[in-house]
Amino acid sequence: MPEIKLDKALSQMLVRPGSNFSFKRRDPDQTFGWDKDEAKQKLAELVAEIDVLQLKLVAENKQSLLVVLQAIDAAGKDGTIRDVFGPLNAAGVHVTSFKAPAGDELEHDFMWRVHAEAPRRGEIGVWNRSHYEDVLVVRVKNLVPRERWEKRYRHIREFERLLVDEGTHIVKINLHISKDEQRERLQARVDDPNKRWKFRSGDLEDRKLWSHFMKAYEVAFNETSTESAPWFVVPANRKWVRDLAVARIVHGALTTMNPQLPADDPAVVGTVVA
């Protein structure tokens, strides 16, 4: 799978394989010199271009795009999906939100439920959380023995390699916010009757484990950001930066994939519909 062509901003967001990634070198308030009003206009333009590329992807029906969104609570995964993918043709975009495994999911290996949701040919699949929960939450909260979750980095690399080899382009995006920004957003949920349902008491317990989660993310990125399935860490304290950054990554991926409309059927060209 060809690599995404990187501009200066995307290059700064990329987690390069073997780079020893650390959040200390990534600023969640980064703007890349973008102007807010111009960024909103550019977002609209990019989404329109993504829509055209998506149409070609569907018509070509040979490859697919998987966008993995991972982030700490309140980082804006739902908002990103709404702002970047919401305007697209819903017939060609499949969004899957992964919750804590339950029922049959607990009776299979940790990859079973996500593999079933991999995008079909011609489709953009967006995962709100993913198989990475099994080396993040599972690791931090000691839900399975260390000797099991340590092997999962290799399992993840091999699973993603399988998808890539079968025609799925993968980009993995982390929405990076500060601990102070998370506090403000969680408080806003508590204070807003229309958003209070999104807050759970467990969010406060997870905040106590902030440093442990950050370490788990760093290890996951270093273990699984590959040339064929790279991680991008998007500064997400400012929502307008977040949205434009994600749109640029998705647009770059689709442009690299270069989907083509099928050749015209000679029997159809010139047809007059009565």
Instruction: Please report the DSSP string for 183-226 in residue order.
Output: HHHHHHHHH-TTTGGG--THHHHHHTTHHHHHHHHHHHHHHH--
Decide which of 202 and 222 is more confident.
222
Does a structural domain hold residue 44? yes
- On whether the CB atoms of residues 15 and 231 are closer than 8 A, the answer is yes
pLDDT over 70 percentage in the chain? 99
Whether residue 1 is predicted with pLDDT greater than 60 in this model: the reply is no
The mean pLDDT of 115-128, rounded to a whole number, is: 98
Reported as type and span, the H/E element at residue 68 is strand 64-71
The mean pLDDT of 225-240, rounded to a whole number, is: 97
d(CA 47, CA 86): 9
| Domain membership of residue 203 as a residue range | 8-257
Band of pLDDT at residue 192, cut at 50, 70 and 90: very high
How many Cβ atoms are within 10 Å of 261's Cβ, its own excluded? 10
pLDDT over 90 percentage in the chain? 90
Mean pLDDT, rounded, of the chain: 95
SS3 261: coil
Whether residue 203 is predicted with pLDDT greater than 70 in this model: the reply is yes
Band of pLDDT at residue 93, cut at 50, 70 and 90: very high
The mean pLDDT of 27-45, rounded to a whole number, is: 97
- On whether the CB atoms of residues 175 and 236 are closer than 8 A, the answer is yes
- On whether the CB atoms of residues 108 and 212 are closer than 8 A, the answer is no
Query: Where is average pLDDT lowest: 94-103, 190-199, 245-254?
Result: 190-199
Band of pLDDT at residue 255, cut at 50, 70 and 90: very high
Does a structural domain hold residue 118? yes
Band of pLDDT at residue 106, cut at 50, 70 and 90: very high
Does a structural domain hold residue 147? yes
The predicted structure's pLDDT at residue 243: 98
Q: What is the CATH number of the domain that holds 171?
A: 3.40.50.300
Predicted TM-score (pTM) of the model is 0.95
Does a structural domain hold residue 12? yes
Does a structural domain hold residue 268? no
The predicted structure's pLDDT at residue 27: 98
Does a structural domain hold residue 262? no
Phi, psi (deg, nearest 5) at residue 68: -100, 120
Q: Among candidates 61, 111, 239, 85, which has minimal Cα distance to 171?
A: 85
pLDDT, one tens digit per residue, over 131-185 is: 999 999 999 999 999 999 999 999 999 999 999 999 999 999 999 999 999 999 9
Band of pLDDT at residue 265, cut at 50, 70 and 90: confident
Does a structural domain hold residue 13? yes
Number of domains in the chain: 1
Whether residue 190 is predicted with pLDDT greater than 90 in this model: the reply is yes
Does a structural domain hold residue 63? yes
pLDDT, one tens digit per residue, over 52-86 is: 999 999 999 999 999 999 999 999 999 999 999 99
